[in-house]
Structures are given as C-alpha cells and as structure tokens.
C-alpha cells in the first residue's frame, strides 16, 4: 500500500481495547487520524484517560482524542467491572502523565473528519458500544456513509453471548444504537463476533508470557488484562486471554487473517427480555431481505497471531 489508509477508532477503552489501539498505531499501512471515546466498559472520563495512557505506552504518534457520549442512548449503563476491573485496566494504577483529550465532542469530530476528507477515504473501527456512531448517523447519515467501511467489535457472531446467553457486551450495552447502525444502509459494515476471538484465537499462557516479557508495552498489554485473565480462569478453567477488540482490529486492518465471514440480513433485538441486545441473523434467508452486514466469526489463528505479535513488536 503506497499511501496510508486513514482510520478512526472509537473505543470504550478497557484492557483489550488498549491492545487493539496499540496494534493499529504500529500498523505502517494505517494512520489513526483520531480516537473517539464512548461510555461502555467504564465511564467516559475513564475510557478517555485509558486511551491516553495507551497512547503513551504505545509511544508511536499521538492522534487527537475526543470524548464522546457519556451514556447509552436509552439503556442504563452497566459497565464491565468483572471483565476489566473498576478502572477498565486491571486496577493497577496505569495512567497518562502528560497527554490530554482535545476539546470538542467525538460525534461532531467524526462528522467533521468524514465531511472534510474525500468520500471513501476513512475506515472506522469501533471497539465499544455504538452510541457515538448512532448519534452521528442520527445527525448526518449521508456524511457517515462517506466512510469506506465500518468494522464493529460486536455480536456473538455465530456463537453464544458473553453478558447474557444471547448477547455480546458492546451490542447489549447500547442495543438501540446498534439497531441504528445496522439500519443506516452501509455498503461495507462488518461485525466481528465474540466467537472470532475464541477457540484457536485464544492466547495461551506461553504466548501471554512472551508478550509480557517483550517490552514495556507488552507488559502493559498483559498486566492491564489481569482481571480478564482471572475471569477466564473461572469460565474457561485456565490462564488464557480472549482478545475481542484485537481480533476485530486484526480483521479490519489485516483481512488476510479472516477465516470465516459471510453476509446476512440482521436485526437487533431491543425488546426487554432474555434476547435483549442479541443480533438476530437471518442465516437461511427466511425474511427475504437483502444482507445488511457481514459477520466475521472465525480468524485464522496463525495469521492473527502473526499480526498481533508483529504490531506489538513481539519476537517469537
Ligand atoms: C467487548 O466488550 C468489552 O468487554 C471488550 O472491550 C470488547 O469490546 C467484548 O464483548
Ligand atoms: Ca471494548
């Protein structure tokens, strides 16, 4: 690729978001033009602070960071303390010593960037609830459709939920926003399901140690995920890391690592009840509706690792 592709990352920066952001910043084919924050894993102020900390540890270049929506559109904020800790980063006191967020609202800044750049020149990757993107669509849908593609870490893929039997956290935390995004009419919208980071994509103890011992950034990436690791010990019975946001980032920036991705017509369940926040995929085409989304449900584990290790600077 001769010219770098422009990328906006929208994040509720918890510990796996941090790894994904570090990966993108080290990908020489992309320029992260801004990072926008959203309430999700942690409140907006903490998500913003964690993003700045991640920029500092990544120590590459320093895209502008803008604070976005501080609540889901309608649903109550629940957060994910059990997955990422109170501060979203394993409660180890990681914080930025010198960086500050810029003035201006994330939603307006996303629109500004899409308006000012040529249509089809910006990719968006979302790593948290879709509140900011939905707000941008509500304000200026045509402007948002100028994005070349949107890749969302969200949905259960073809598998099961991680916050309820039926739902994955990012979609569930703001299901109304997810519905707006799915109904917006994107030509190229991909959901990377939680199942894409499971199975062979899960990092084992040896790989975790390799990353931790590789550099200060490696240590930050692993230690900040310590609460996730203890959750995994309980739910998977071993020390391991499921890297949801890194899986989405890899699928977005290094599509060679995608093993399974198909297009479907999908709807978001927003009615209260056991299926709230689930993505209902029309797998067999019952509705007769045209596909509105691609769903990535599996990564090639070797390619995913190669990209993850390369961008984090880990020598195997
Ligand atoms: C998603 O929810 C959060 O816990 C992670 O950061 C990821 O974005 C996984 O369901
Ligand atoms: Ca996230």
User: Which pLDDT score, from 0 to 100, does residue 2 have?
Assistant: 67
Question: What φ, ψ does residue 163 adopt, rounded to 5°?
Answer: -120, -25
Task: Report the number of distinct structural domains present in the chain.
Answer: 1
pTM for the model stands at 0.98
Q: How many angstroms separate the Cα of 92 from the Cα of each of 35, 224, 227?
A: 23, 7, 10
As given in the structure block, the two tokens for residue 218 are 């490696």
Mean pLDDT of the residues in the chain: 97
* 237-256 mean pLDDT: 97
Those residues whose beta carbon sits under 5 angstroms from the ion ligand 2 are: 12, 17, 127-128, 245
Query: Among 96-100, 107-111, 298-302, whose mean pLDDT is lowest?
Result: 96-100
CATH number for position 142: 3.90.245.10
Confidence tier at 96 by pLDDT (50, 70, 90): confident
* DSSP code, position 257: G
User: Which pLDDT score, from 0 to 100, does residue 62 have?
Assistant: 98
* 26-48 mean pLDDT: 98
Q: Which is the closest atom of ligand 1 to the Cα of 169?
A: 10
Distance 267 CA to ligand 2 centre (A): 21
Which range of residues forms the domain containing residue 261? 5-312
The percent of residues above 90 in pLDDT, for the chain, comes to: 97
- For 124-178, write each residue's pLDDT tens digit: 999 999 999 999 999 999 999 999 999 999 999 999 999 999 999 999 999 999 9
Q: Which is the closest atom of ligand 1 to the Cα of 15?
A: 6
* 119-123 mean pLDDT: 98
* 198-202 mean pLDDT: 97
Cβ neighbours of residue 184 under 8 Å, at least 6 residues apart? 137, 141, 144, 145
Q: Which is the closest atom of ligand 1 to the Cα of 84?
A: 4
Distance 197 CA to ligand 2 centre (A): 13
User: Which pLDDT score, from 0 to 100, does residue 150 have?
Assistant: 98
* CB neighbours of residue 62 within 10 Å: 15
Give dist(CA 272, CA 169) in Å, integer.
Answer: 15
Distance 118 CA to ligand 1 centre (A): 31
Residue 267 Cβ inside 6 Å of ligand 1? The answer reads no
Residue 88 Cβ inside 6 Å of ligand 1? The answer reads no
């Amino acid at each position: 690729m001769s010219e770098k592709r422009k990328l906006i990352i929208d994040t509720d920066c918890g510990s796996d978001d941090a790894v994904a952001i570090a990966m993108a910043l080290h990908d020489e084919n992309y320029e992260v033009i801004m990072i926008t924050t959203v309430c999700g894993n942690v409140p907006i102020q903490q998500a913003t602070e964690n993003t700045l900390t991640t920029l500092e540890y990544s120590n590459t270049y320093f895209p502008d960071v803008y604070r976005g929506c501080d609540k889901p559109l309608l649903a109550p904020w629940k957060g994910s303390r059990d997955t990422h800790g109170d501060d979203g980063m394993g409660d180890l006191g990681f914080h930025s010593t010198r960086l500050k967020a810029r003035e201006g609202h994330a939603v307006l800044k996303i629109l500004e960037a899409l308006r000012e750049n040529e249509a089809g020149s910006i990719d968006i990757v979302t790593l948290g609830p879709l509140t900011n993107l939905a707000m941008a669509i509500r304000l200026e849908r045509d402007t948002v459709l100028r994005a070349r593609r949107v890749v969302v870490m969200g949905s259960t893929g073809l598998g099961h939920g991680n916050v309820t039997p039926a739902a994955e956290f990012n979609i569930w935390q703001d299901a109304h926003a997810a519905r707006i995004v799915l109904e917006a009419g994107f030509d190229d919208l991909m959901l990377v399901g939680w199942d894409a980071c499971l199975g062979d994509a899960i990092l084992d103890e040896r790989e975790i140690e390799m990353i931790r011992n590789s550099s200060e950034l490696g240590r930050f990436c692993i230690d900040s995920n310590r609460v996730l690791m203890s959750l995994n010990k309980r739910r998977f019975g071993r020390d391991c890391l499921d890297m949801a946001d890194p899986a989405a980032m890899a699928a977005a920036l290094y599509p060679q690592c995608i093993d399974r991705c198909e297009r479907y017509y999908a709807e978001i369940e927003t009615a209260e009840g056991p299926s709230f926040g689930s993505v209902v995929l029309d797998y067999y085409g019952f509705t007769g509706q045209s596909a509105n989304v691609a769903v990535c449900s599996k990564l090639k584990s070797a390619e995913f690792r190669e990209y993850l290790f390369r961008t984090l600077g880990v020598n195997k």
